[in-house]
Structure 1
């Protein structure tokens, strides 16, 4: 095969196809020309692949063919209807359907945490068993408050966001096994319970609750939602509804888990911004708590109002 002659013969068609691919708008005649050229150039590419050892030419022509194919088949564009459906029905609906589960998780978590806080506060010597006397003293003097100002706010916010999103992902993914979710939650109970108990035993309850409340309300609610949805998936495997097979039940719960995972990315982003910028801000404690409480109540209202509406729409179908 004379490669130079073949290129000279068909090169004009290749260039013309590339030009049509670059145009933003095509009229009817140009669309017909694009289709015809695409078919011919695809044949040329097939011939060259079987007879030409020139990788540069093959790569260049392959790119032209791929661009033409994309132009003919259409490029995927973001569907704002899908985004709206997710924001106003998909995510809040999935959270609402799992409300009994994450509300139960929140209740048990809160009871265990405050029980541990009270125990450590009433028995200060137990702090040594958990973290040691020196670490407890450092925590009270500067460690707890310093945690929120150790890094720049943007860096701290990004770290918190990724950490909490990863924790939620683990709860959602491990939910089918049940036990790992309990372990992850217990680690958080232990951390908050011991730190809170130590702070209270040293008379720093105002510092502890003043710093943890602004972001903790929304952040922990996100963790509760992730854990509850994960456990709901596990229960779907253990005890599926009568009308569904075990696989169908897990698949349905898993779809909700995916929606929740995507939505919690935004929830944890808001919580991270509050923790990095609002929690350590030099403003009255009441103001910081009010900001956190407003974000938390807004999320709950969003879930209750839009989630219940999405559930009603499904039931009406």
Structure 2
């Protein structure tokens, strides 16, 4: 192959492909031209590699082919259409399909922490084995309620948000090993059970439930969703099913886990705002609990209504199954 003659013959096509693949919007004829030039350049690249593998030319043509392919498939660029699909299909569908997992986690957590609260509250000697009388008195009469007013609300909201987001991330990331999720849930259930039991045992159940319920409904549900989905990821490689390999099952479930992780960020942000601004607010408890319950029921309605609709329509929560964005007029 005469490389110089080959380059001279096709250089114009390559320049045109480079121009088209850099444009953000294409007309229908330009999109057709882009497809044709992409196919031709891919053939040129194959010919150069097999007959006269010049490193510089191979690198140039490889870049052109990859650039054109990204333009045809939409690439990773921002799109409001993708955002809309994520909010109305991807996230609610992923959470909806994982409902047996996170509802099971919810039941186990509530049962364990509830039993611990009852046991600690009905056995006064148990707290004394773990805390001094001064520590118990401080927790009951000041530190538990004071926790919600110790910092400025905006700073407290950011602190709570990042802490809960990290907790949810631990559950999702550790799910492939299963045991880290169980450990995180167990330690939090033990902590909640101990504190709740001490408060209830000392006649402060109204303070405990009045402060923890407004934000806890949404906050704990988000954590349970993360934990349930983390366990689902772990189970995907333990029991992938008859139609998928372990690698494929793990990859698909992990991709859905990424959707859940992104979707839980605003959910935890809202729960953080409630905890910082609503939980300690000097208003009747029924109002504070009502605000928290409304946000919680809104989230559940969003997940189950949109998730069920997407499931009935045969949609997929896997990001690889999303419809590619083709540049058109």
3-state SS, counterpart of residue 89 of structure 2: helix
3-state SS, counterpart of residue 314 of structure 1: coil
Structure 1 partner of 2:282: 282
3-state SS, counterpart of residue 78 of structure 1: coil
Distance 2:303 2:283 in 1: 30
Does residue 313 (structure 1) correspond to residue 317 (structure 2)? The answer is no
**Highest CA radius of gyration, 1 or 2?**
1
3-state SS, counterpart of residue 148 of structure 2: coil
Distance 2:219 2:75 in 1: 38
TM-score normalised according to structure 2 size:
0.72
Does residue 192 (structure 1) correspond to residue 195 (structure 2)? The answer is no
- For the 8 Å contact 1:113–1:189, the answer to whether it is kept is yes
Equivalence map 1:44-193=2 (5 Å): 78-193=78-193
- For the 8 Å contact 1:130–1:194, the answer to whether it is kept is no
Aligned-residue offset at 1:259: 0.3
Distance 1:75 1:220 in 2: 36
Runs ≥4 residues deviating over 4 A? 73-77
Distance 1:130 1:241 in 2: 46
Distance 1:97 1:258 in 2: 15
3-state SS, counterpart of residue 147 of structure 1: helix
- For the 8 Å contact 2:89–2:315, the answer to whether it is kept is no
Distance 1:144 1:293 in 2: 21
Gaps of 5+ in 1: 1-68
Distance 2:252 2:134 in 1: 50
- For the 8 Å contact 1:218–1:292, the answer to whether it is kept is yes
Structure 1 partner of 2:293: 293
* Of 122-131 and 89-98, the range deviating more from structure 2: 122-131
Aligned-residue offset at 1:78: 2.6
Distance 2:83 2:252 in 1: 20
Distance 1:96 1:289 in 2: 25
- CA 1:170/1:75 → structure 2, altered by over 3 Å: closer, same or farther? closer
Gaps of 5+ in 2: 1-66, 322-329
Structure 2 partner of 1:20: none
Instruction: Point out which structure has higher relative CO (alpha carbons under 8 A, 6+ apart).
Output: 2
Q: What is the number of equivalent residue pairs in this alignment?
A: 246
Distance 1:227 1:185 in 2: 8
Deviations 1:39-63 (A, max 9, x none): xxxxxxxxxxxxxxxxxxxxxxxxx
Structure 2 partner of 1:217: 217
- CA 1:98/1:76 → structure 2, altered by over 3 Å: closer, same or farther? closer
Deviations 1:281-311 (A, max 9, x none): 0000000000000000000000000111111
* Of 126-135 and 90-99, the range deviating more from structure 2: 126-135
Aligned-residue offset at 1:136: 1.1
